[in-house]
Amino acid sequence: MSTREFAGYDIVRPLGSGGMTRLLLALDAHHRHVVVRYLTEDFAKRWSYRRHFFGGAKVMQKLNHPHISRLIKTGYVGKIPYMVLEYIEAKTLRDVMLAKDHILTDNTLSLMRQLATLLSYIHSAGYLHLDFKPENLLVRADGVIFVIDFDLSLPIQRPWWRRRLRELPGTPAYVAPETLRTHRVDVRSDIYSLGVIFYEMLTFHKPFESDKLELARAAQMNPAVAPTPLRQHNPQVAPALEAVVLKCLAKRPEDRYPSMSLVIRDMEKML
């Protein structure tokens, strides 16, 4: 074990990194595993990233859900913001999909229902997630899913005036077409992201693909270009399930599911 230390925690090994953060597996004073997550030096210099980082921590603390990574503490080491999270022995959904792991292939519908229920809970608690993607989801060996990153989350505005953001939220492949064009977001933005994840879980493809990234983004934004039918990639997908996924992915927000309760309603019909 490494004897390196960070914020009073003994560092065991790196766990990986995101676009602006690093993750460390560490031991606390009672020799229990925790995760230390911190902003890299370049991003830590910018107030907006620090605000997102600590804002996400506050959301996690307020949600207090058993399948949302539990926040233990936040702070600074010098000028570097960090948070300490519970350690979950799991793989990201991205890694599970890349490996075509049996956890996914044997339990696809169960995992999809869990994701829908989690996103519904986040919305009912009054928040948009705005970065719902496989890298921010953990799948434990027993098939239980956890959400781990809320840095871009924002309160849902009521009444339903759609919020317009200065910067594009999230990862473009998971961002709704209207958000790519106008930076406007509401609950349907998250529902589109969920639809992309569902599509990948069922087909191991994205709805819009091309050898050139700019062509994939153009197809994603073009209202005349429909996603490749799921059954073209995977004939085993039931037509009713395909219909749910494609409704989540509707190009026009008014054609998309207006709430997660309706997504769950239609999924429950497939029990």
Cβ-Cβ contacts under 8 Å for 185 (sequence gap 6 or more):
128, 130, 154, 162, 163, 164, 165, 169, 176, 179
Q: Encoding tokens for residue 2?
A: 């490494």
Strands, E assignment, the chain:
5-6, 9-17, 21-27, 33-39, 71-77, 80-86, 90-92, 127-128, 137-140, 145-147, 154-155, 163-164, 184-185
Q: Which residues make beta-bridge pairs with 155?
A: 127
Closest CA to 90 of 131, 48, 33, 37: 33
- Catalytic, 95? Answer no
Do the Cβ atoms of 167 and 152 come closer than 8 Å?
no
The one catalytic residue in 10, 42, 95, 131 is 131
Sign (positive or negative) of CA dihedral 233, 133, 63, 27: positive
Centroid of chain to Cα 244: 19
- Which of helix, strand or coil describes residue 15? strand
Nearest to 205 by CA among 172, 225, 188, 229: 229
Task: Name the region of 76 (left: φ>0; alpha: ψ -120 to 50; beta: rest).
Answer: beta
Nearest partner of 268 among 110, 66, 129, 108, judged by Cα: 110
Three-state DSSP class for residue 6: strand
* Helices 187-203 & 260-268 angle (0-180, nearest 10): 30
Residues with active-site annotation? 131
